[in-house]
Amino acid sequence: MDYEHIKQGELPRTWSDILGGFGCGEIKRFPLEGQALTNARHAIPRMGRKGLKFRTRSKGDHFYILCTAHQQDGARLSRKEIQQLFRSLELGE
C-alpha cells in the first residue's frame, strides 16, 4: 500500500458516494468547512453495511479520512498499521 501519497479531495455532494470510492489503506484530505466533518462522521457508520470501515482525524483546517477495511476485496489494516500511518502524517492515534 502506498502511504506516501494523500489524495486531495473536494467536499462531495454525498458522503456515501465519496466514501464508497475508497480502497483499503487510502487516505483523503478534505477542507474543514462548515459541517463537513460532522456530516462525514454521520455517514461513516452507514458504510459499514457495505463492508467499509473508516477512521477520521483532523488537524488545522483539514480533516483526513482513512479506509481501514474493505470487505469486498478482503483487505484490512491492522491497528499497528493504522497507528503508523497516522503518526507518519503527524496526526496521532
Contact (CB, 8 A) for 68 and 55: yes
- Residue 61 within any structural domain of the chain: yes
- Residue 46 within any structural domain of the chain: yes
Spatial separation of the C-alpha atoms in residues 34 and 21, rounded to whole Å: 23
Q: List the domain range (segments joined by +) for residue 30.
A: 19-88
Grid coordinates in use for 2?
Answer: 502506498
Count of domains in the chain? 1
- Residue 93 within any structural domain of the chain: no
Q: Left (φ > 0), alpha (ψ -120 to 50) or beta: where does 73 sit?
A: alpha
Spatial separation of the C-alpha atoms in residues 19 and 32, rounded to whole Å: 16
Spatial separation of the C-alpha atoms in residues 86 and 47, rounded to whole Å: 21
- Residue 9 within any structural domain of the chain: no
**pLDDT tens sequence across 12-69:** 568 888 888 888 889 999 888 888 888 888 888 888 888 899 999 888 898 999 999 9
